[in-house]
Structure 1
Amino acid sequence: MAMRIITGPESIQGSPEWLAWRQQGIGASEAPIIMGKSHYMTPYSLFKIKTGITLPAKPNPAQIRGHALEPKARIAYQQLTGNVVVPTTTEYVEIPFLRASLDGMTFHEDMIVEIKCPGAEAHQSALNGVVPACFADQCQQQLLLTGLQKMHYYSFDGEDGVLLEVVRNEARITEIITAASAFWDHVKSGTWSTDEWAAAAAEWIMANRAVEHAQETEKQARAILVSMLANDQSKREGSGVSVTRVVRKGAVDYEALLKQKGVDFTEEDMEAHRKASSESIKVSILKEAKETKAAPAAVASSVSNLAKAPAPSASKPVLETVEPRDEGFILTV
């Protein structure tokens, strides 16, 4: 087996020691970012975190929910499969900067599980028999580290779960190693040697789309709340929210007022009383970028001496499988 199991304080997921260990490598959950499959972060954003230029963002509500549900989901998985699994922290012996914090591994080390408590769209994908593309590369990196031929993906909505089987994809693993090696070279040198403007632009486009999505979601939720405010109500409060009806006077048309009072003025008069100018910078998405809505590109690199994935462990059975499509693994149990 090509992995080394981490013990001691570094093995406790979420501890300061574990966070420091994770910062010194590429975790399996970061593989989709490097491969350009993440909806929430670009490779350039991750580079800035790994080099200490920026700090990691605080967990969002979805991440907090997923973390809180994970123990319940693990119990549900164990009851479904009969597998007793424990969280395990590992790194790859041949390429130590490749790492993984496994949600569960059996005591015989012959099966691992990736547990997700995702949003409705990702869970529906699992119900349809497809591992979402934003999680697929995470599974492949875990298979690389453990030397296994297959693993479980368990999607849990808080009450019910769906179990999928993911098979090892050697071609994709090679691509992950190639991109991860190139990315780690950037981190070690402290420079992003590709077009930094393009990287920064991709980062901003992703953030802008997240803001637009959040604004649209807020707009819809606001409309529902406002519709519940009766016409004779000026205010309604409850469940941590206040909805208040406010009536404001309209703006005064000073130009019309002055003309009505017989006060004439010219453009020159207006310019003479104009306040100091101010400067602003507008950043917008070009039409072609709006139309494509492409995901950020993966880290590109020529194949290095690390780019060839080692063969899986001889002690593991070789399975005949159908190569998964790029958008997800359509393998169910």
Structure 2
Amino acid sequence: MKIVNLSQRTPAWLAWRAQGVTASEAAVILGRSPYQTPWRLWAEKTGLCLPDDLSNNPFVQRGIALEDTARQGFEERHDTLLLPVCAEHTDHPALRCSFDGLTESDEPVELKVPAQKTWDAVAREGEDSLAFGLYWVQVQFQLAVAEAARGWLVFDPVRPKVRALEFVIERDAGFIEQELIPACLQFHEAVRKKQEPTPDPQRDCFVPMGEEALQWDRLAAQYRAAERRAKVLEAELKGHKAQLAEAQSGLVGLMGEFLLADQTDLRVLRYRQQGSVDYATALEALMPDLDPTLLESHRRPASERVRVTLKGDDAQPAPAEPDTPRRRRRKASAQASAPAADDSAASVTETTLEPEPIGYF
């Protein structure tokens, strides 16, 4: 391997990584990652799409903050020193590694500071766990660059009374030479020549090109204008509803104990409506041992939904609604069913289409 004199997490280090293929990208390139596709990685490296900003991710921040502690823990357990260095493959300099540490015998040590849930899964499932499978590829990449016979994969949550899980990773020469290196070099060439891999419609973003891009811009402008007008009308409607509620409250107050009033062109009827049954609570109380999977046969067909998010200057948050029990129930239901997303600074419109079966991934 060829050692590269760079300090990790510096601008020069980021530029060096961007010009090659790194160990952390290997599982994505091979199509083994559930978190990112080869097309998305290609799009980010060619500038077609912006990468996700993980700088404020608490798990990423914690991993960076505790990496030195995890490194020291390994050094103490194995009476060795780990050297965090950057290196390139001797024959294929596009293959690049930022090692968490190399032992005195140049064995790579990959340190992970996982969340408790991940650690529990690795402790329970071992080499069959998702995390192990992803990072096994990463260590094989490091073994290829370091020209080492074995390496280490360590899951250390750096928590009191929680032990580190250590795996010795033996070099898989067949996998490295026949699958890993060819795929990574081919991907690097695709990035260099801007040869787009086939996107996955279920996981990747649609990027309009040519005439479609012009149509997209026109429709997006139409949507923004309609959204701005809708907000004005919604605010006006909200004001009228507030006036209606105020007048109704006053009329009911004037009626006293009477249930009916019919004066001029206005009729007011007070009545009591029976509350609905909370079937979820009733089912839990009446049949606490019911297997939830039995309810799946009674589930209505899934419906496809569309969420449109306005980003930028037009994304003004809507005025807050009064906090009522009904609104809290509605909000809780929406949070339970909606996909996770940070829409705190964006305007979101969600549309329900006609029910039809959809695929899950």
Query: Given the two structures, how large is their TM-score scaled by the length of structure 1?
Result: 0.59
Q: Which amino acid aligns with 1:149?
A: A
Counterpart-to-counterpart distance in 2, 1:187 and 1:62: 29
Give the superposition deviation at 1:162: 1.8
Contact conserved, 1:47 with 1:187, CA < 8 A, in 2?
yes
Counterpart-to-counterpart distance in 1, 2:7 and 2:83: 12
Give the superposition deviation at 1:154: 1.1
Once superposed, what is the RMSD of the aligned Cα atoms?
3.0
Match for residue 193 of structure 2?
189
Counterpart-to-counterpart distance in 2, 1:249 and 1:84: 60
Q: Which of the residues 78, 85, 98 maps onto 1:81?
A: 78
Per the alignment, do residues 289 and 184 of structure 1 end up closer, same or farther by CA in structure 2, a change over 3 Å counting?
Answer: farther
Unaligned runs of 5+ in 2: 207-320, 328-348
Contact conserved, 2:80 with 2:104, CA < 8 A, in 1?
no
Per the alignment, do residues 108 and 12 of structure 1 end up closer, same or farther by CA in structure 2, a change over 3 Å counting?
Answer: same
- SS of corresponding position for 1:100: strand
Counterpart-to-counterpart distance in 1, 2:326 and 2:203: 43
Q: Which of the residues 9, 13, 16 maps onto 2:8?
A: 13
Q: How does 1:215-230 map to 2 (within 5 A)?
A: none
Give the superposition deviation at 1:141: 0.3
Give the superposition deviation at 1:289: 3.6
Q: How does 1:1-333 map to 2 (within 5 A)?
A: 3-7=1-5, 11-59=6-54, 60-109=57-106, 111-128=107-124, 129-130=126-127, 132-159=132-159, 160-173=163-176, 174-194=178-198, 196=199, 199-203=200-204, 246-247=323-324, 289-290=359-360, 293=361
Give the superposition deviation at 1:170: 1.7
Match for residue 218 of structure 1?
none
Per the alignment, do residues 119 and 38 of structure 1 end up closer, same or farther by CA in structure 2, a change over 3 Å counting?
Answer: farther
Give the superposition deviation at 1:37: 1.9
Query: Given the two structures, how large is their TM-score scaled by the length of structure 2?
Result: 0.54
Q: How many residues align?
A: 216
Unaligned runs of 5+ in 1: 206-243, 251-278, 294-333
Q: Which amino acid aligns with 2:185?
A: S
- SS of corresponding position for 2:80: coil
Counterpart-to-counterpart distance in 1, 2:157 and 2:146: 27
Counterpart-to-counterpart distance in 1, 2:119 and 2:64: 16
Give the superposition deviation at 1:283: 9.6
Contact conserved, 1:154 with 1:164, CA < 8 A, in 2?
yes
Contact conserved, 2:154 with 2:164, CA < 8 A, in 1?
yes
User: Larger radius of gyration, structure 1 or 2?
Assistant: 2
Counterpart-to-counterpart distance in 2, 1:62 and 1:249: 34
- SS of corresponding position for 2:102: strand
Give the superposition deviation at 1:49: 1.4
- SS of corresponding position for 2:86: strand
Contact conserved, 2:3 with 2:85, CA < 8 A, in 1?
yes
Give the superposition deviation at 1:288: 7.0
1:49-100 Cα deviation digits (max 9, x unpaired) = 1112223221222111111111111111111111200211011021111111
Contact conserved, 1:39 with 1:134, CA < 8 A, in 2?
no
Of structures 1 and 2, the one with the larger relative CO (CA 8 A, separation 6+) is 1
Counterpart-to-counterpart distance in 1, 2:105 and 2:324: 69
1:142-194 Cα deviation digits (max 9, x unpaired) = 01111111111111112231211011112221211121122112101112143
Per the alignment, do residues 172 and 281 of structure 1 end up closer, same or farther by CA in structure 2, a change over 3 Å counting?
Answer: farther
Counterpart-to-counterpart distance in 1, 2:94 and 2:351: 40
Counterpart-to-counterpart distance in 2, 1:12 and 1:164: 27
Give the superposition deviation at 1:287: 5.1
Counterpart-to-counterpart distance in 2, 1:120 and 1:289: 31
Structure 1 stretches of 4+ with a deviation exceeding 3 A read 279-284, 286-289
Contact conserved, 2:190 with 2:196, CA < 8 A, in 1?
yes
Contact conserved, 2:136 with 2:153, CA < 8 A, in 1?
no
Counterpart-to-counterpart distance in 1, 2:105 and 2:136: 24
Per the alignment, do residues 158 and 53 of structure 1 end up closer, same or farther by CA in structure 2, a change over 3 Å counting?
Answer: same
Contact conserved, 2:148 with 2:171, CA < 8 A, in 1?
yes
Match for residue 322 of structure 1?
none
1:229-271 Cα deviation digits (max 9, x unpaired) = xxxxxxxxxxxxxxx9822899xxxxxxxxxxxxxxxxxxxxx
Counterpart-to-counterpart distance in 2, 1:25 and 1:138: 15
